[in-house]
Each structure stands twice: as structure tokens, then as C-alpha cells.
């Protein structure tokens, strides 16, 4: 049985200044803007000098792995959202050691300093890739991954996010505070990078896409919906360690292509390609990983965060996709 947790408003007494690492990233900018709009004093930690809307203070700290003592950065901070990470997309040449240094050791050092500074609320942005790369099907039902599942990461990125979760949970086990781990699936929204913009480009060019007969299911989450979940997690007043998977839509690849085409004002050019051919393409170098993401299923179960934190997505899928596509068109040269 799910237990409804006590949630404080972000700007309530006792939670007035929030530190956000990786604040100039895709999720970080949206989160800082939302927290600032809610009256929270935001300290944005970034690698390089930049402006972050909604942040009262931006601190450029350089390479996060070179910070030996995080405590000077944590003065007057009530809570931390740790977004900074080495991601799986666009990090060619990164090996397991580099993923471990950035994603595990930096997280451990930051959390250790947070506890030393008596900061008792910590939100860690993990990934659904901790659960694995695909959902299994049993008795005809597709399994939706949850925080209660046995982790099964398959690459260096996923393994490093799991190791970071475990390191933080060990630190927080006996601490009188709240550690909340969020495992989002593919995040979409204005300014995103990765597979979805590539797919949008192919759709606008009318390239035939071989996914017409694909019957997979993938979970997605709009960036503003992830931000609202993060804000809810920041407000948890109960001590303990919690891990949530979350999503706002489950959709097949052909359904996604049609929805994107509609939002972009073009025709979806889907063709039916036999499944064995697609499986063969998924084994090829370079394009294999992208093909698997477009043909395999990976579902995230949002019931725990909905029940315990009373979180519901605030932006509907059609509206979110329209905003995303409009922003992508506006950014094109």
C-alpha cells in the first residue's frame, strides 16, 4: 500500500534556497526557471560562466571532478537537486572510469558535504537505464519498470547511475533527511538534444521511416512535467530514501512519428518493414543503438510517485509535443 508523504511548498520556511548542479543543462534551465517563479532562491552551479534564468546566483566551478571540498559552495543551502552528469548521448570516447568519476564520485562527494552542512533534502536525477534497456513481456503483458525492480543496467552510463544511487542511499540510510531518486525515461521538450530532434529532421524531409509495423511501447516525459515532479520531491518532509520511475505518456514508435508529423504540419512517411530486417539493422554499428531505442519497448511505472507525492503531469502530451516541435522549428537556421 502506498503512503502519502508530507509535502512542503517549495518556498515554505525551511526550504528557501535550493542548489541546482548542472543548472545550464536541458532540465536544469527549466527547473531553475520554475523554482525562481515560485519564489525560491536558486543557486545555480555550472561548469562554465553563463546566465541561468530564475537563478539568483550562478557559480561557475569548472570541472566538477576537480572539486576537493564542496562545502564552500553549500553555504545557506536548504536543499540540493543534483543534475550534473556525464550522459550516454554524445559522449564518444568516455569509458567506464570517466563515467564513474563524474557520475559516482562527484555525487558521493557532494552528498557527503551536504550532510556535513546539515542539508537534509537531496534530489538525485538518475535514469530509467538503471532498470535496463527494454521491458520484458510476460503472459502477454508488457512490464513497466519501477523503483522496486532489480536493477539491470547494460552500459557504462546505466551502471554509473546505479552506482551513484547506491552510494547516496548508503550515505542517507541513517541520516535524518530525505533523499529522492528520480529515474526518468526519454525527456523531450524545447532545446533537447539526441534522438528526437534527429527523428523530427527525418520526418520534415519526408524520409521513409521503416517503423510502420512496429508494435513497441516507450515511455516519455515532457521536461516541464519532470520539473514539476522534481519540485514535489524537493518538498518531501519525511526522512528516508525513495526511488521513483516516472513518465507522462506511453507510445509506440509509429504513433510517435504520426504525432510528430502532425505537430510539424507534414505527412508521416511510414513503411512496413519485417521485424527480422529491423533486428538485423539493430545489430549494425553506429545506428544499432538508435534502432533498438526505436523498436524495443521500455516502459516506466509512474504509480508510486503519483500515489505518494500526489504528482500528476501538468502538460498534456499533444500540447507538450506542439510546444516542442514549434521550438525546434524556430531554432532551425
Q: What pLDDT does residue 42 have?
A: 95
Instruction: State whether the Cα torsion 110-111-112-117 is positive or negative.
Output: positive
Q: What pLDDT does residue 294 have?
A: 84
pLDDT at residue 168 greater than cutoff 60: yes
pLDDT at residue 282 greater than cutoff 80: no
Q: Is 315 exposed, middle or buried (0-12, 13-18, 19+ CB in 10 A)?
A: middle
Asked, for residue 102, whether it belongs to a domain, the answer is: yes
Of the two residues 41 and 93, the one the predictor is more confident about is 41
Query: For 74-87, how does the pLDDT look when each residue is reduced to its tens digit (9 = 90+)?
Result: 988 999 999 999 98
Number of H helices, E strands in the chain: 11, 14
Asked, for residue 122, whether it belongs to a domain, the answer is: yes
Q: What is the mean pLDDT of residues 34-46?
A: 94
Nearest C-alpha neighbor of 83 from the set 37, 126, 129: 126
Asked, for residue 288, whether it belongs to a domain, the answer is: no
Q: What pLDDT does residue 265 have?
A: 95
Q: What pLDDT does residue 1 have?
A: 52
Alpha helix (H) ranges present in the chain? 26-37, 96-99, 106-116, 156-172, 195-204, 223-234, 253-264, 275-281, 288-295, 303-309, 317-331
Q: What pLDDT does residue 90 have?
A: 47
The proportion of the chain whose per-residue pLDDT surpasses 90, expressed as a percent, equals 73
- For residue 133, which phi and psi values (nearest 5 degrees)? -105, -10
DSSP string, 125-146: E--GGGT-SS--EETTEEPEE-
Query: For 206-230, how does the pLDDT look when each residue is reduced to its tens digit (9 = 90+)?
Result: 999 999 999 999 999 999 999 999 9
State the residue range of the domain holding 33.
17-187+220-247+299-314
Query: For 141-165, how does the pLDDT look when each residue is reduced to its tens digit (9 = 90+)?
Result: 889 999 999 999 999 999 999 999 9
CA atoms within 13 A of residue 293's CA, in its CB half-sphere: 18
Which pairing describes strands 17-21 and 41-46: parallel, antiparallel, or unpaired?
A: parallel
Of the two residues 94 and 293, the one the predictor is more confident about is 293
Q: What pLDDT does residue 150 have?
A: 94
Highest mean pLDDT among 191-205, 217-231, 276-290: 217-231
pLDDT band at 238 (very low <50, low <70, confident <90, very high): confident
pLDDT band at 2 (very low <50, low <70, confident <90, very high): low
Query: For 89-108, how does the pLDDT look when each residue is reduced to its tens digit (9 = 90+)?
Result: 645 556 889 999 999 999 99
Asked, for residue 63, whether it belongs to a domain, the answer is: yes
Q: What is the mean pLDDT of residues 175-184?
A: 93
Query: For 107-130, how does the pLDDT look when each residue is reduced to its tens digit (9 = 90+)?
Result: 999 999 999 999 989 999 999 999
- For residue 284, which phi and psi values (nearest 5 degrees)? -80, 150
Dist. CA 177–CA 233, nearest whole Å: 12
Asked, for residue 197, whether it belongs to a domain, the answer is: no
Nearest C-alpha neighbor of 191 from the set 5, 16, 27: 27
Q: What pLDDT does residue 11 have?
A: 78
Helix H or strand E encompassing 218? strand 218-222
Domain count, the chain: 1
The residue length of the chain stands at 333
Asked, for residue 83, whether it belongs to a domain, the answer is: yes
Asked, for residue 109, whether it belongs to a domain, the answer is: yes
pLDDT band at 194 (very low <50, low <70, confident <90, very high): confident
Asked, for residue 29, whether it belongs to a domain, the answer is: yes
Q: What is the mean pLDDT of residues 56-67?
A: 91
Q: Could you tell me the CATH number of the domain that includes residue 106?
A: 3.40.50.720
Mean residue pLDDT of the chain comes to 91
- Long-range contacts (CB closer than 8 Å, 24 or more residues apart) made by 28-34: 28/52, 28/83, 29/53, 29/191, 30/189, 30/223, 30/224, 30/226, 30/227, 31/81, 31/83, 31/227, 31/230, 31/231, 34/224, 34/227, 34/228, 34/231
Q: What is the mean pLDDT of residues 310-331?
A: 95
Amino acid at each position: 500500500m502506498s503512503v502519502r508523504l508530507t509535502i512542503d511548498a517549495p518556498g515554505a520556511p525551511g526550504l528557501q534556497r535550493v542548489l541546482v548542479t548542472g543548472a545550464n543543462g536541458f532540465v536544469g534551465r527549466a527547473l531553475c526557471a520554475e523554482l525562481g517563479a515560485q519564489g525560491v532562491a536558486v543557486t545555480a552551479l555550472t561548469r562554465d560562466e553563463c546566465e541561468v534564468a530564475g537563478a539568483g546566483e550562478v557559480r561557475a566551478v569548472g570541472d566538477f571532478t576537480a572539486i576537493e571540498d564542496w562545502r564552500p559552495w553549500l553555504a545557506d543551502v536548504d536543499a540540493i537537486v543534483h543534475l550534473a552528469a556525464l550522459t550516454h548521448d554524445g559522449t564518444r570516447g568516455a569509458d567506464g572510469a570517466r563515467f564513474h568519476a563524474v557520475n559516482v564520485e562527484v555525487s558521493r562527494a557532494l552528498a557527503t558535504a551536504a550532510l556535513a552542512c546539515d542539508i537534509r533534502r537531496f534530489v538525485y536525477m538518475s535514469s530509467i537505464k538503471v532498470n535496463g534497456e527494454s521491458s520484458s513481456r510476460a503472459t502477454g503483458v508488457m512490464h513497466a519498470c519501477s523503483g522496486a525492480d532489480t536493477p539491470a543496467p547494460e552500459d557504462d552510463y546505466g551502471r554509473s547511475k546505479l552506482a551513484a544511487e547506491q552510494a547516496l542511499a548508503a550515505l542517507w540510510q541513517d541520516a535524518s533527511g530525505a533523499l529522492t531518486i528520480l529515474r526518468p525515461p526519454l525527456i523531450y521538450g524545447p532545446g533537447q538534444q539526441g534522438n528526437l530532434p534527429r527523428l523530427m529532421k527525418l520526418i520534415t524531409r519526408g524520409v521513409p521511416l521503416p517503423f510502420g509495423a512496429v508494435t513497441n511501447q516507450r515511455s516519455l516525459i515532457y521536461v516541464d512535467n519532470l520539473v514539476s515532479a522534481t519540485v514535489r520531491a524537493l518538498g518531501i518532509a519525511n526522512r528516508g530514501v525513495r526511488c521513483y520511475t516516472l513518465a507522462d505518456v506511453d507510445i509506440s514508435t509509429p504513433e510517435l512519428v504520426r504525432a510528430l508529423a502532425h505537430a510539424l504540419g507534414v505527412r508521416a512517411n511510414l513503411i512496413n518493414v519485417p521485424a527480422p530486417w529491423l533486428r538485423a539493422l539493430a545489430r549494425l554499428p553506429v545506428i544499432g543503438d538508435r534502432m533498438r531505442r526505436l523498436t524495443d519497448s521500455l516502459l516506466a511505472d509512474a504509480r508510486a510517485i503519483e500515489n505518494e507525492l500526489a504528482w500528476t503531469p501538468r502538460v498534456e502530451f499533444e500540447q507538450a509535443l506542439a510546444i516542442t516541435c514549434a521550438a525546434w522549428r524556430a531554432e532551425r537556421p
